[in-house]
Amino acid sequence: MLEQLKQTVYEANMDLPKYGLVTFTWGNVSAIDRESGYFVIKPSGMDYDKLKPEDMVVMDLDGNKIEGRYNPSSDTATHLELYKAFPKIGGVVHTHSPWATSWAQAGRGIPCYGTTHADYMYGEIPCARCLQGTEFDEYEKNTGLLIVETFQGKDYEAVPAVLCKNHGPFTWGKDACEAVHNAVVLEEVAKMAAQCEMINPEVRPAPQELQDKHYYRKHGANAYYGQNE
């Protein structure tokens, strides 16, 4: 079932250590087949160097395991809630990459200080609040619901990333490959922003006109960055 999607998700998961986004087993990638309503995700706690495409687990949007001999990632319920709430996404990534996680542990969103950030994400990358009280009873599900709550009134396509306070980052995209790409960008932007504040503690976000120019030249109706296919 969904053999090609399993291969894609396997390759996307293998990109996490390739790009230095995970240590040991600290991360996962999933991707959804919108036609069937099933998504494929990495199995829980398995070493990357031992993973194979056939190890990927198939889930439905009710949280049922459809296929796979292993338990799915412990973050599966978070991925599920994102797929339900954000209908235009096709892939989700969670890591504990050090720079993005440092901002999450500090409980701060990442301001847009320059054009590298603006090229990919429109404005500040938000940091969701920490879960409270009985929300911990369904921790992973409520993490997903909290991300959705954080994006009320925001464009999840324009800002395909979030930080979960005291936890770490999630990113998404039109497919698993783009979600990984956004995770790499997020980590680089997080590092640049932290170093920027070290160099100049009084730094302010980039002018809005500059942010608009760089975001919309790549993503706007009249975008002109790159090649016409």
Name the burial class of residue 4, with classes exposed (0-12), middle (13-18) and buried (19+) by CB atoms within 10 angstroms of its CB. exposed
Judged against a pLDDT cut of 80, whether residue 1 lies above it is answered with: no
Number of domains in the chain: 1
Question: What is the mean predicted confidence (pLDDT) over 148-175?
Answer: 98
Judged against a pLDDT cut of 80, whether residue 71 lies above it is answered with: yes
55: Cβ–Cβ under 8 A, 6 or more apart, which residues? 10, 42, 43, 46, 68, 69, 70
Strands 161-164 and 65-67: unpaired
pLDDT digits (tens, 9 = 90+) for 13-52: 999 999 999 999 999 999 999 999 999 999 999 999 999 9
The residues annotated as belonging to the active site are 119, 225
Distance CA 9, CA 77 (A): 17
Contact by Cβ (8 Å): 98, 105: no
Residue 222 placed within a domain: no
Query: Domain range spanning residue 118?
Result: 3-217
* Mean pLDDT for the chain overall: 96
| CATH number reported for the structural domain that contains residue 201 in this entry | 3.40.225.10
Sign of CA dihedral 165, 45, 91, 227: positive
Residue 228 placed within a domain: no
pTM for the predicted model, two decimal places: 0.95
Residue 187 placed within a domain: yes
Judged against a pLDDT cut of 80, whether residue 229 lies above it is answered with: no
Please provide the size of the chain in residues. Answer: 229
Judged against a pLDDT cut of 90, whether residue 223 lies above it is answered with: no
- List, edge to edge, every strand of the sheet that includes 27-33: 65-67, 57-60, 38-41, 27-33, 91-95, 168-173, 161-164, 127-128
Judged against a pLDDT cut of 90, whether residue 65 lies above it is answered with: yes
Residue 86 placed within a domain: yes
Residue 144 placed within a domain: yes
Question: What is the mean predicted confidence (pLDDT) over 102-131?
Answer: 97
pLDDT digits (tens, 9 = 90+) for 173-220: 999 999 999 999 999 999 999 999 999 999 999 999 999 999 999 998
Contact by Cβ (8 Å): 96, 164: no
Of the pLDDT bands very low, low, confident and very high (cuts 50, 70, 90), residue 140 is very high
Judged against a pLDDT cut of 80, whether residue 228 lies above it is answered with: no
Helix %, strand %, coil % of the chain (to 5) = 45, 15, 40
Residue 211 placed within a domain: yes
Question: What is the mean predicted confidence (pLDDT) over 146-161?
Answer: 97
Residue 227 placed within a domain: no
